[in-house]
Amino acid sequence: MPVTAPRNAADIIVEGRVQGVGYRDFVQRRARHLGAVGYVMNLPNGHVRVRAEGSRENLEQLVRALEKGPPLSRVEKVSVRWLPPTGRFASFDVRFGHGIP
């Protein structure tokens, strides 16, 4: 019987020059590559919010990638809050508009 990695969830806020530089697309590609599900969205204060679910190891890899970001970004701070997974996401999407769902 295969052993599946326990699922985890992270609510991540990224601060810096992360809007208007392809950051959400970068996050979506990286998250999908790592098998994470959830979403990325811009916030009205100029930050980016990432909600991701997947294995702890893959989410930690995602956080490391978020700390670097795409070439035009300048990441100043990444805050991670670990949460229990909801299981409500089937893919990793970009959410448009501003606000917190």
Nearest to 78 by CA among 13, 20, 32, 22: 13
Domain ranges of the chain: 7-86
Q: Which two tokens stand for residue 86?
A: 């909801």
Secondary-structure percent of the chain, ordered helix, strand, coil, rounded to 5? 25, 40, 40
- Selecting among 24, 30, 51, 58, the annotated active-site residue is 24
58 is catalytic: no
Task: Tell whether the model's pLDDT for residue 10 goes beyond 50.
Answer: yes
Name the pTM for this structure: 0.90
Task: Tell whether the model's pLDDT for residue 5 goes beyond 70.
Answer: no
- Selecting among 8, 30, 42, 58, the annotated active-site residue is 42
CATH code linked to domain 7-86: 3.30.70.100
Task: Tell whether the model's pLDDT for residue 85 goes beyond 90.
Answer: yes
Question: Which of the pair, 82 or 7, is modelled with greater confidence?
Answer: 82
8 is catalytic: no
Residue 98 has a pLDDT of: 59
Summarize pLDDT for 27-80 with one digit per residue, the tens.
999 999 999 999 999 999 999 999 999 999 999 999 999 999 999 999 999 999
Residue 2 has a pLDDT of: 44
Task: Tell whether the model's pLDDT for residue 88 goes beyond 90.
Answer: yes
Whole-angstrom distance, CA of residue 53 vs CA of residue 39: 9
